[in-house]
A and B are shown apart, each in its own frame.
Chain A
Amino acid sequence: GQSLEQPSEVTAVEGAIVQINCTYQTSGFYGLSWYQQHDGGAPTFLSYNALDGLEETGRFSSFLSRSDSYGYLLLQELQMKDSASYFCAPLGGSQGNLIFGKGTKLSVKP
């Protein structure tokens, strides 16, 4: 079967660091993507980890451990505009397509 776990909500203050954890179970795992979605908007791609380790893109970093079926998204120097939902999306199944869930709603407070 397949499963996906990430916290439903996270709150942090401006300037802080927040980590959103993700555990997954899927057949045929290819990698782990992260997407951001603002209220009323479209999901937008943030990062993709095909191999174990840390990928850094500006204030955002994403980590993957294939052996632990675990990943996280690290957001540094939080800004108000980072308030959004964040989806971890493993690529799995026979087709290697993205598997989304309900995401984590991040609220950044002043």
Chain B
Amino acid sequence: DAGVIQSPRHEVTEMGQEVTLRCKPISGHDYLFWYRQTMMRGLELLIYFNNNVPIDDSGMPEDRFSAKMPNASFSTLKIQPSEPRDSAVYFCASSPYRVANTGELFFGEGSRLTVL
């Protein structure tokens, strides 16, 4: 079975441009998470969905960030306009169950974003 699939793997853009990151979770997984990883702050939860509905977006840094999940097999994280401080690796992860039951998330390979 395919794992979590993210695209693009690498993105270099200029400040002010719109960035869209994409994620396809593992089939049958009802929970989808977006994380951001930086050297300074480590791995931070941005937002998570259950059955395509956003449950907790308290980690989204500001209004420039938005996430959607139009169906069970696709989610996007959009940054508009992008800023250099948004440079990070963005991970998507999914789980078939509430994560508190098993402690296990399945991560994609990440999208490395560089904003110049």
Contacts and interface: CB of A to CB of B under 8 A. Distances in A.
Interface of A: 30-33, 41-45, 47-50, 87, 89, 91, 95-103
Contacts of B98: 96
Contact of B55 (A42, A91, A95): A95
Given A45-B104, A95-B55, A97-B48, 4 more contacts: A30-B100, A41-B109, A45-B105, A97-B45
Which of under 10, 10 to 19, 20 to 34, or 35 or more describes the interface residues of B?
A: 20 to 34
Contacts of B105: 43, 45, 98
Nearest to A102: B42
A65 B109 CA distance: 32
B91 A43 contact: yes
B12 interface: no
**Residue in B42, B44, B48, B106 with the greatest tally of chain A CB atoms within 10 Å:** B42
B43 to A, nearest CB: 4
Contact of B104 (A48, A95, A96, A101): A48
A52 to B, nearest CB: 15
Given A95-B56, A100-B35, A33 B103 contact: yes
Interface in B88-106: 91, 98-100, 102-106
Contact of A33 (B33, B41, B104, B106): B104
Given A95-B55, A97-B45, A100-B35, A50 B103 contact: yes
Contacts of B55: 95
B30 to A, nearest CB: 14
A85 to B, nearest CB: 10
B103 A31 contact: yes
A43 B107 contact: yes
Contacts of A31: 100, 103
